[in-house]
A = this chain, B = another copy of it.
Amino acid sequence: MKKNMKHLLLASLMLAGTAQGMAGVATWIWYPGDYEIWMSNEMQNRRTERGAFFPPFWRMDSHYVLVEFSTKLSLAAAEEVEIAAEGRYNVKLDGKLQPGEPSKLAIPAGQHALNIKVYNQQKPPAIFVKGATVASDTSWVATFEDKEWIDASGKASDQSGTVYAKVGAWNFNDPTAIPSQFKLATTPKAAVKTDRSAQSVLVDFGQETFGFVKLHGLKGKGNLTVYYGESKEEALDKEHCETFDRLSSLNHPQPKDFTMESSRALRYANVVWDGTLAFDNVSMLYEHMPEVNRGAFRCSDEEVNRIWDVAAHTLQLSTRELFVDGIKRDRWVWSGDAYQSFLMSNYLFFDSPAVERTLFALRGKDPVTSHINTIMDYTFYWFMGAYDHYLYTGRKPFIQQLYPRMVSMMDYVLSRRNDFGMLEGRSGDWVFVDWAEFPMSKKGELSFEQLLFCQSLKAMSKCAEVVGDTAGATRYAELAQELRGKFLIAFWSKGANAFVHNREEGRRSTQVTPYTNIFAVLQNFFDENPAFAAAQRKSIRDNVLLNPKALKITTPYMRFYELDALCTLGEHEHVMREMKSYWGGMLGLGATSFWEKYDPKESGAQHLAMYGRPYGRSLCHAWGASPIYLLGKHYLGVQPTAPGYSEFVITPALGGLKWMKGKVPTPHGDIAVYVSTDTIKVTAPAGKGYLYFKSLRTPKSNIGSVEKVIDGYRLQLAERGKEYVLSYKSEQP
């Protein structure tokens, strides 16, 4: 119970702060990325498969074990500061080593240099410093090699060339809120249904959940196993369920409540025992990152509302210390999955601390010895994700911290180009793209990979601008431009009127897969001639995206982009039907969270199987939650057009709904949108925003004046925090 109190304390501290520390507020600080990498090691190594430890197959990095933190001080009056550290440490004031490991330090008035050096092999070195004005905040810098040598006379080196980085932080704003002791929050949760048998009990928690199963009043002697199931079938299949926990030789003369050591994904728990064991009932502690749903959506269609709710639940469950792919399996951090979580999170939590942590964790440390997660496409999503995070949040300090690792990652990619300047899978590269039902070549130059590569170069160019690397910005932009030109020539098939899948040994394939065509629409990746570009867009829509005979996607992962692209093409009504059919299809099968894979053609136990295992499929997979993103971005229609929502647009589309309302979070507060067929209401907290819409009659606004623009109307949202109410007439009846 005490333990849980601490969890709650930490959770509330977390909510009290911002995601990344505030200037002037004392907080625990560390070398940027170190806590994130360490935490991801802790988290990703929690995966088990039928009782066996199942860690990732890529390299896990570690924190720097010896870190020096430093700051310059200018004190009007003398003050005493308190110092706490995770690790063994020393303190230098103005270059003079202080005795012992001082937990308090008197600093006279005036200018000073304060340095604290911490060693910790097991956990990331971190410090907390607080005085009347002195505070360990995000203005401090850190280095892993201070190079402060002295000569034989005792003179310190004067050309150390030390590289410092701005420190990392979260919201551990109290000396007792030790970063390495962070735990997710837990909340007691009762079973919805309990089926008892002689030596077993099957418990149903009513929906997909995650946490620690708890046995109340456990007593007696014997062995006990909890078999977990995302489905009832899985929990009851002792031989094949993916996870279980065994407790051997229990001996409890007195009844006591017993909580399992590990948290697991489950809806069902099948508790099986022998001997004289007995217990009163089974409950659980729901373990979760206390993220607040800032985004909201409600509409006239209850099925869509239910889809949004289950998608939000899915994303909530898979947003742990970092964004994981699925909560049963793998509990790992995958870049392709995470990229979608970032995008969804922008319309639900906004600027979740999990975003930057996940980006740091995925990247790890130099040297780069592999693609991210070993997957070529996942490397590219990582670049795109970093820039998108900046676009949505405006978090420039994060890009500054990450940029050196972006450069070395891109150096790795560039070093692996073939003679045509393109990338093909080399030994050690996993070319993933998607889990597909049709044969798909992973050989040669995949058009999909080149497109993502090009987008990554563009993201690099923009991030280079953010950090002031103008030479880099130019170089990456030029590389992107060059690759784009080659791409259009290499992969556009005039015969198929679409982008083809790949080129092997110089020969263009004839296969048209959806992937490249989807991303071409999303990234506006067409010919420079606008007329030809428009024709390309149209032919992709007709020949690929809306063509019933084209190759079909069966993962929510790629459906994300497919529907994103169709909305980009204005096909909101079609997408609404698809959402209701696909996600509604899962709901119809009893889903309480969205799945890793869903194929309406499958039936029964087929829906549970994957990877050659009867319950291999994850029934709570982050990439299943895309309706949150689609409804926020394309129906409520809110998206930033300049970093951190300093500029944004609202382009609502009912897509067949009678009405809808919702909120989209921004760094400055939430943008509220209500749309019916005759009324639009919007409130925006800050930023330069425009509302775009169509109307069959001349619209009227309570504030400002509506402009006529090509293809509709525009209203500048100049009055911050005020509700704009427009009367109009939707094209939708």
Taking CB atoms and an 8 Å cut-off, the chain A residues in 20-71 that contact chain B are 38, 41-42, 45, 49-66
Q: Does A88 contact B (CB under 8 A)?
A: yes
Taking CB atoms and an 8 Å cut-off, the chain A residues in 91-108 that contact chain B are 91, 97-101
> Which residues of chain B are within 8 angstroms of A374 by Cβ–Cβ distance?
145, 147, 149
Check A144/B59 contact, CB under 8 A, given A38-B121, A51-B100, A97-B52: yes
> Which residues of chain B are within 8 angstroms of A159 by Cβ–Cβ distance?
425, 427-429
Q: Does A698 contact B (CB under 8 A)?
A: no
> Which residues of chain B are within 8 angstroms of A408 by Cβ–Cβ distance?
367
- What DSSP secondary structure best describes chain A's contact surface? loop
Please tell me how many copies of the chain the complex holds: 2
Q: Tell me the bound Cα distance from A180 to B121 in angstroms.
A: 13
Q: Tell me the bound Cα distance from A59 to B142 in angstroms.
A: 13
Sorting the interface of chain A by its residue count into under 10, 10 to 19, 20 to 34 or 35 or more gives 35 or more
Q: Tell me the bound Cα distance from A435 to B153 in angstroms.
A: 10
Question: Which of A387-395, A570-578, A607-615 lies at the binding interface?
Answer: A607-615
Q: Is the CB of A53 within 8 A of B611?
A: no
Q: Is the CB of A161 within 8 A of B426?
A: yes
Q: Tell me the bound Cα distance from A428 to B160 in angstroms.
A: 4
Interface centre among A66, A157, A161, A611 (most CB of B within 10 A): A66
> Which residues of chain B are within 8 angstroms of A98 by Cβ–Cβ distance?
52
Interface centre among A49, A63, A147, A427 (most CB of B within 10 A): A147
Residue of B nearest to A38 (CB): B121
Check A54/B97 contact, CB under 8 A, given A62-B62, A121-B38: yes
Q: Is the CB of A430 within 8 A of B117?
A: no
Q: Tell me the bound Cα distance from A163 to B370 in angstroms.
A: 11
How would residues 417 to 448 of chain A score, 1 for a CB under 8 Å from any chain B CB and 0 otherwise? 00000000111111000010000000000000
Taking CB atoms and an 8 Å cut-off, the chain A residues in 672-690 that contact chain B are none
Knowing that A41-B121, A53-B90, A58-B147 are A-B contacts, what are 10 other residue pairs whose CB atoms are under 8 Å apart, sorted by A's residue number? A41-B65, A53-B117, A54-B90, A55-B90, A60-B66, A145-B369, A147-B428, A152-B597, A154-B612, A155-B612
- A residues near B (Cβ < 8 Å) are 38, 41-42, 45, 49-66, 88-91, 97-101, 117, 119, 121-123, 144-155, 157, 159-163, 366-367, 369-370, 374, 408, 425-430, 435, 597, 610-613, 616
A-B residue pairs in contact (CB < 8 Å), sample of 20: A45-B119, A50-B99, A51-B100, A52-B97, A52-B101, A53-B88, A53-B89, A53-B90, A53-B117, A55-B90, A56-B66, A57-B147, A59-B66, A147-B374, A153-B611, A159-B427, A160-B428, A162-B428, A163-B369, A366-B367
